[in-house]
Amino acid sequence: MNADYQRVADAIEFLIEHRHEQPSLERVAANAGLSPFHFQRIFKRYAGITPKQFLAALTLESAKALLDRNQSVLASAFDVGLSAPSRLHDHFVTIDAMSPGEYRARGEGLSVTYGFAHTPFGLMRAGETPRGIAMLDFVDSEVFDPETTPLPRAEFVRDDAVAERIAARAFGDAQTPLRLHVGGTNFQLRVWNALLNTPAGSVTSYAGLASAIGEASAARATGNAVGSNPVAVLIPCHRVIAKSGIIGNYKWGSNKKRALLAWESARAVEAERRD
């Protein structure tokens, strides 16, 4: 199963790198070392969409034709479907914020169960406390250093089954609430809650997010709060792009951000088609 996840993750990278060439299913499958039939089945199983649907959703750069009509890139991104209305159920996520004292303690006295799991977007590290999911990020290896976590003073116990369960919820169709146990300043928590109100399959700008929390002049501070999010995907910082429409920075690289946006957009379109 891990080998199949890696094939899907590699295929997503290949599709992003070669998106302007519109590679055929046969070409992408050959790059993965599989027959087209077998590759399509694996991709759909682990990504929830077909390779063709994913490629079609890589539309930000495809908006250039709309720019000829003097539209902004952000407006173009909207027009090509990234803000299309969708009845796709987003993750039902609630934040159980740490108290200021807990936040300052950096996890001291907390027990965190963590582990690693393979996802369509690469290796993921996740951890939870008895009160909820406390960390989720993408990593290059299973080397674990508490200092690289938001709770460096916590007591950590490894259990990969926990990470696999979290990954299944994060990248599947979670129908029951997910509770996060995260710490941050009051301002950061307001930004993160606003991010949770940005629907899957859509994007916003840093300025738009700042306005959503009533701090229109604080776009830069809002961007810093977005970047300090300790729970990737569940608090969807990948849905924030620059006002100009450029994909912008992302903790795990612009390709990962572009992949997540395309994946969500394709799933939203597929959900609407089914409905």
Residues 6+ apart with CB under 8 A from 26: 36
36 is catalytic: no
* CA–CA distances in Å: residue 38 to residues 4, 33, 136: 11, 10, 30
Rounded Cα–Cα distance for residues 85 and 272 (Å) = 9
Q: Residue 206: which of 240, 244, 250, 232 has the closest Cα?
A: 240
- Contact of 156 with 116, CB cutoff 8 Å: no
Q: Which of 133, 237, 260, 266 is catalytic?
A: 237
Residues 6+ apart with CB under 8 A from 52: 25
Chain centre to alpha carbon of residue 7:
19
DSSP H helical ranges for 185-235: 186-196, 206-212, 219-227
- Contact of 139 with 123, CB cutoff 8 Å: yes
Catalytic residue positions, numbered: 237
